[in-house]
Amino acid sequence: MNVRPGGGIVLVIMTFDLEDYKRRTARLEWDDLDIGGFRHAPLNPDVLRCIRYMHDVEYHTTCYLRELLVTPAHADPVVTGFLTLWA
Predicted TM-score (pTM) of the model is: 0.52
Task: Kindly calculate the radius of gyration of the chain based on its CA atoms and give it in whole angstroms.
Answer: 19
Quickly count: other Cβ atoms within 10 Å of residue 37's Cβ: 9
Q: How far is CA 77 from the centre of its chain?
A: 18
How would you write the chain as a 3-class SS string? CEECCCCCEECCCCCCCHHHHHHHCCCCCCCCCCCCHHHHCCCCHHHHHHHHHHHHHHHHHHHCHHHHHCCHHHHCHHHHHHHHHHC
Identify any residues that bridge with 77 across adjacent strands, giving them in sequence order: none
- pLDDT digits 0-9 by tens, 5-36: 666 777 777 787 888 888 888 888 889 989 99
Tens digits of per-residue pLDDT, 34-87?
999 999 999 999 999 999 999 998 888 777 777 877 888 888 888 888 777 776
